[in-house]
Amino acid sequence: MAFAHKLAWAAALTLACQGGQAAPADQPITEFNCSSCKEWNAPQKPFNIYGNTWYVGTAELSALLITSPKGHILLDGALPQSAPLIEKNIKALGFKLKDVKLIVNSHEHFDHAGGIAALQRRSGAIVAASAIGARVLQAGVIGKDDLQYQPDQDPRIDKVPKVQVVGEGETLAVGGLALTAHMTPGHAPGGTTWTWTSCEHGRCLDMVYADSLTPVSADSFRFTEAPAAVAALRASIAKVAALKCDVVVSTHPGFTDVMAKLQARKGDTNPFIDAEGCRNYAAGATKRLDERLASESANGALPKK
C-alpha cells in the first residue's frame, strides 16, 4: 500500500470512530460505536525494536516500552480494551507492569490514551503529558480546540486522576532513562513526539516515537478556511523531519511500516534503523495534507469516506 493510501485509510477509520454511543469508564469501545476497533486491537506478539526499546502494542495501535534495571517507561496505552493486551505483552517479554514508573501519551484521542487509566492503576506509574493532553486525560473528553470535536461526542477516554504536565524540550527521567518531549500539535492540540536514546552493543541511536500528523477532523471543519490549523500541522511535520532520528515508530504502526520492517528483520540486519525514517514519515504527512487541501478546494467538501 502506498503511504498516502495508508494515511487516508487510517484517517477515515479514525474519523469513523468519532460518533456513536457513550462508553462508560473502563468499558471497551465496542464494535457498535467503533467499527474498526476490533481490527486495531488484534493481538500482536511483542518484539524488540532496538536495544532496550520494545513494541508492546496491538496489531494497529502502537505502544512502546523502554526498559531499565531501575524502572521502565511506557509510551501510550491504545484503547481501553488494549490495556490487558499491553500488560500481557510486557509480561511475555519478561518484564513486570509494576516496574513501569512512567506512562506518557502521544496525543489525547481515545485510540492512544484510552488504555492509560487502567495501565496506570495496575502499575502505579506517574502519567505525564502536554498541558492540553493532561487536561483532556483528566477531564476524559477532548476540548473544542480539537479539530475532531463534535458537540455530541463520546467521553471516550477513561479519566486519569493525576497527570504531570511536560513542556517543550523537557526531559523526564526514570532510572537511567531520559525521555524528551517535543510539542507537535496539529492532528491533536496536545500532540507530543518523544525522543530518547537506546544502545545495543555500545552503539547508541536516536529513537523517535512520532505523533500522528494526519489532517483528520469533524465533518464540518475546513482546513482551507483555517490557516492557523494548517500552519500548526506544517510546523509539526517540519519539526519531526528535523529531529535527530535513527529509528522512528509512529502511533499507528502502519504509518512507519513497523510490521513490514519486523518481517524484513533478519540476522544482524535491523530495518528499524533508517536514517530517512522521520523525513519519509514527514513527507507522507505533507502529501496527505496537500491532498486534503486540494480536495477541499476542488469539491468544496471533504473527501468521501
Q: Can you tell me which residue has the cell 495496575?
A: 122
- C-alpha 215: how far from its chain's center? 14
In the bound complex, what is the minimum distance in angstroms from residue 250's beta carbon to Zn ion? 11
Pairing of strands 53-55, 64-66: antiparallel
Q: Of all residues in this chain, which one has the CB nearest to Zn ion in the complex? A: 109
288 is a contact residue toward Zn ion (CB under 5 A) = no
End-to-end, the C-alpha distance of the chain in Å comes to 18
In the bound complex, what is the minimum distance in angstroms from residue 187's beta carbon to Zn ion? 6
72 is a contact residue toward Zn ion (CB under 5 A) = no
Please say which residue, 75 or 177, places its beta carbon nearer to Zn ion. 75
109 is a contact residue toward Zn ion (CB under 5 A) = yes
In the bound complex, what is the minimum distance in angstroms from residue 69's beta carbon to Zn ion? 34
Rounded-to-integer distance, Cα 93 and Cα 69, Å: 14
Binding pattern for the stretch 199-228 against Zn ion, x by CB under 5 A and - elsewhere: -------------x----------------
Q: Are 247 and 207 in contact (CB under 8 A)?
A: yes
What single DSSP character describes residue 187? Answer: S
- Kindly indicate which of the ranges 23-31, 109-117, 157-165, 236-244 contains the residues binding Zn ion, using the contact rule CB under 5 A: 109-117
Instruction: Please tell me the count of residues contacting Zn ion according to CB under 5 A.
Output: 2
- Kindly indicate which of the ranges 37-45, 76-84, 102-110, 221-229 contains the residues binding Zn ion, using the contact rule CB under 5 A: 102-110
Dihedral of the alpha carbons of 7, 11, 13, 15, in degrees to the nearest 10? 180
**235, HSE (Cβ side, Cα atoms, 13 Å):** 14
In the bound complex, what is the minimum distance in angstroms from residue 77's beta carbon to Zn ion? 13
Interface residues with Zn ion (CB under 5 A) are 109, 212
